[in-house]
Amino acid sequence: MPEENQQNKTDVIVVGAGPAGVSAAVTVARGGKKVVLVERGNFAGSKNMYGGVIYSHAAAEIFSNYKEASIERFVSNHSYVLLSETDSTTISYKSPSHNENAFVITRANWDRWCVEQAVKEGVYYAPNTLVRELIIKDGKVIGIRTDIEEYYADIVIIADGVNSLLARQIGLRKDLRPKDVFLGVKEVIKLSPEVIEQRFGLGNGGGCAMELVGGPLKNLFAMGIIYTNKDSVAVGLGVALEDLKNRKIKPYELLEAMKKHSFVADIIEGGELAEYSAHLIPEGGYNRLPQLYTDGAIVCGDAAMLVNNVHFEGTNFAMISGKFAGETALEAFEKSDFTKNQLCLYRKKLENSFILKDLRTYKDVVKTITNRANSIGYYTQKVNEFFEIFTTADGIEKKGKFKKFAKHFFMKRSLAELFKDGFAGIKVMFDILK
């Protein structure tokens, strides 16, 4: 049975210096408690990758001076691109009042900057420290074990990301199955700022976030992403791991196919590959929430599978759940109660916030989309065929073309399939609005 060494004892230990962990740690420090933030990487962000967008509301809630970080570009244009085999149709949203909703920044810069701020506010930061396991005494989490030593705390906040060996060790989460996660793959391609601004139609250092469906991703539960940095473009995709496994598709081949599509090829033409990375993304979802706390421990961020994949929101869920975990720890100190009876407050905070409200809203949506994923490519193809007719002036009368289009629309897909797709669309709307 482990004996607590008082020299190695602090109030709170946070494992993982990603967006969830740093937010938890700085919240605890602001409340006047001693907190150690443990990170396995040699600097925060060194082990982390993502698409590229941080949401300003969450950044500002944790660090009001977030604009001092090395932001690449604020997202001024948001585009959705429907791909067919060769063509593309783009829907773009732009508004002067929307300019500061989100920004693109590299994780190496963002995570490191956040940790620097947290250290200034009293967080003790321990990089290069891999937590091997949690220390348990009488069924309660009382500390962490690293390769070198044991450290003790009244509360351990688990923010070790999607794989979360620690949440699994204490039975809060089950082992990951392919259907629980998406695989994200991404390349960073160097281009000059002038070329980026010209190709994306950006002015004044603005940025673009794009989501792509269909084309090479057709029939898969998958979405492409393109984000603009200052002098590079991130091109990637997220795809259900189960789809990759069942259909024996290699993720980098899918990304290559996406890069060869004329829409993407034109954007990255002449660019130089700077970086390739891959990472799992929790599929998330209200129905898959793990147990979020136990005696002496709270789980947040990806470790708790808190992601809204429909909107590509993960970092804001991580930061705000980390903040709630920190607040819950502070309240536990006020009551001197570190049992789950007290730590259940964490779940209530999540329930009362956009985090579990949004996950509940989308709780059946992901399943409906997954079941009809093989229809997405059909409709993106048809949208492009429609716009081809609509925009072509070739001396041939339009009515005949529209009749042919309508006939093909119904002939190429059985009435039963069309009905199921329509029903799925209505169900998605109903599920969101109910």
d(Cα 125, Cα 17) in Å, to the nearest integer? 9
Helix axes 315-335, 19-30, angle to 10 degrees: 30
- Choices 40-48, 287-295, 326-334, 373-381 (CB under 6 A): range interacting with ligand FAD: 40-48
Determine, following the binding rule CB under 6 A, whether residue 15 of this chain makes contact with ligand FAD.
Answer: yes
Q: Looking only at residues 166 through 225 of this chain, which bind ligand FAD when binding is defined by CB under 6 A?
A: 184, 186
Indicate which single residue of 14, 26, 38, 69 sits in contact with ligand FAD (rule: CB under 6 A): 38
Binding residue for ligand FAD (CB under 6 A) from 19, 143, 271, 296?
19
Site string for ligand FAD, 265-284 (x = CB under 6 A): --------------x-x---
Q: Which stretch binds ligand FAD (CB under 6 A): 44-52, 73-81, 365-373, 415-423?
A: 44-52
Distance, CA of 19 to CA of 40 (rounded, Å): 15
**Judged by CB under 6 A, which of 135, 141, 159, 359 binds ligand FAD?**
159
Alpha-carbon distance 17 to 128, whole Å?
11
Q: Which stretch binds ligand FAD (CB under 6 A): 24-32, 170-178, 301-309, 401-409?
A: 301-309
Give Cβ neighbours of residue 416 (< 8 Å, ≥ 6 apart): none
The β-bridge relationship of strands 140-146 and 131-137 is antiparallel
92-100, 299-307, 323-331, 353-361 -> range binding ligand FAD (CB under 6 A): 299-307
Contact 405, 387 (CB under 8 A): no
Instruction: Work out whether the CA dihedral 160, 212, 362, 93 comes out positive or negative.
Output: positive
Contact call for residue 323 and ligand FAD (CB under 6 A): no
Rounded to whole angstroms, the Cα distance separating 404 from 389 reads 10
Q: Which of 307, 345, 350, 376 binds ligand FAD (CB under 6 A)?
A: 307
- Rounded to whole angstroms, how far apart are CA atoms 19 and 280? 16
Contact call for residue 156 and ligand FAD (CB under 6 A): no
Taking each helix axis as running N to C, give the angle between helix 354-361 and helix 315-335, from 0 to 180 degrees, rounded to the nearest 10. Answer: 130
**What kind and span of H or E run contains 181?**
strand 181-190
Nearer to ligand FAD, 308 or 375 (CB): 308
Site for ligand FAD in 97-126 (CB under 6 A): none
Min CB(390)–ligand FAD separation in Å: 33
Stretch that binds ligand FAD, among 2-10, 216-224, 311-319, 417-425 (CB under 6 A): 311-319
Q: Which stretch binds ligand FAD (CB under 6 A): 32-40, 210-218, 345-353, 354-362?
A: 32-40
Residues sharing a CB contact under 8 Å with residue 77, sequence separation 6 or more, in sequence order: 92, 93, 94, 200, 201, 202, 206, 207, 208, 209
| Runs of H (alpha helix) within 90-221 | 107-120, 165-169, 193-200
SS3 (DSSP) at 414: coil
Longest CA–CA span in the chain (Å) reads 87
- Contact (CB, 8 A) for 297 and 134: yes
Minimum separation from the CB atom of position 328 to ligand FAD (A): 16
Using rule CB under 6 A, residue 21 touches ligand FAD: yes
| Residues that contact ligand FAD, how many (by CB under 6 A) | 38
Q: Name the site residues for ligand FAD (rule: CB under 6 A).
A: 15-21, 38-41, 47-48, 50-53, 130-131, 159-161, 184, 186, 236, 238, 279, 281, 301-303, 307, 312-316, 318
